[in-house]
Structure 1
């Protein structure tokens, strides 16, 4: 695992997984949210996102977390390992709400400067609809890529924890 893409619904724990994986593998982590949200939640244009990501994936090794469906193929095609956090929508909603309370009026460590934590109905709706709107397309892509890449689908926090724990055992 040298080039790792971590994807999943909002609230699934992509940034946490990336951070823990980075620690386990002693690898730099890139949080796309930190790159693609400017102060006061101003989004970076897709063309700029593509340029940045094309540069990021040229590195020898990397861990990148984030969705950004319009540029997802850049990461999936360049990755040798794809981790999909396929957690239940209620858990993702709960975590997103919990995160918004925890970081209320603050900027999360994995977010761009000047983007104070917020939660709104469109984001909650996106999380709720993710299993029906985004997941089928992602599963199709992962199935197509599974012959040439390591695809890890984790369905619960327990599975994620066991996966991370297994990395320490493999290093010995």
Structure 2
């Protein structure tokens, strides 16, 4: 397994991107960037798409990075530079449970790490429920088109995610 340098973490809300990203970023000695924190302000206002894309273009020029988030419209920017792509393709029930746990932890307040306020709407719940049907095929297509050079890992359970992270951390630690 190749050592990590630039990691694109993709997956449904509640799939565990932030938790995984934190561990991977620590292993390669870099910061994690949460796209939600770039895209939304404290009031959930969206950044204009061209500014959002420009920020990502700048981020991916670094030698090492971990970026978590979906945003299919700008995903090719990250995929073209990633050395590793991790797609968390977990069941909707697992993701909904992750959202419930996050909600309980932050009590609807501001997420300490991302700076984004925890917000659950009916639209978000239906997005999670339909992610595998509606979004995942598009994500896989984008990965196939823009990240053929990268190591691709698809994760379908929390246990598999932990196993993969341990393997990647070990490979990276042994290489340093």
> What SS does structure 2 have at the residue aligned with 1:69?
coil
Match for residue 169 of structure 1?
170
2:71 is the alignment partner of 1:68: yes
1:78 equivalent to 2:81? Answer yes
Q: Give the counterpart of 2:56 among 53, 58, 64.
A: 53
Distance 1:145 1:37, change over 3 A: closer
Residue 123 of structure 1, CA deviation: 0.3
Runs of 4+ in 1 over 6 A off after TM superposition: none
C-alpha displacement at 1:25, in angstroms? 2.0
1:20 aligns with 2:37: no
Structure 2 counterpart of 1:9: 12
Change (3 A) 1:168 1:91: same
Q: What are structure 2's unaligned runs of at least 5 residues?
A: none
Instruction: Give the corresponding residue for 2:153.
Output: 152
Following superposition, the deviation at residue 154 of structure 1 comes to: 1.0
Note the alpha carbon deviations across 1:122-169, whole angstroms, 9 max, x for none.
000000010111101112233345642111111111111111222343
User: C-alpha separation between the residues in 1 aligned to 2:153 and 2:39?
Assistant: 25
Which residue is equivalent to 1:29? 32
Match of 2:114 among 101, 111, 115: 111
- Change in Cα spacing, 1:43 to 1:118, as seen in structure 2 (3 Å) is same
| 3-state DSSP of counterpart to 1:82 | strand
Higher relative contact order (CA 8 A, sep 6+): 2
Structure 1, unpaired ranges of 5+: none
Q: Does 1:136 align with 2:137?
A: yes
Per the normalisation by structure 1, the TM-score is 0.91
Distance 1:79 1:91 in 2: 26
Once structures 1 and 2 are overlaid, which stretch shifts more, 102-111 or 140-149?
140-149
* Worse-matched range after superposition: 152-161 or 102-111: 102-111
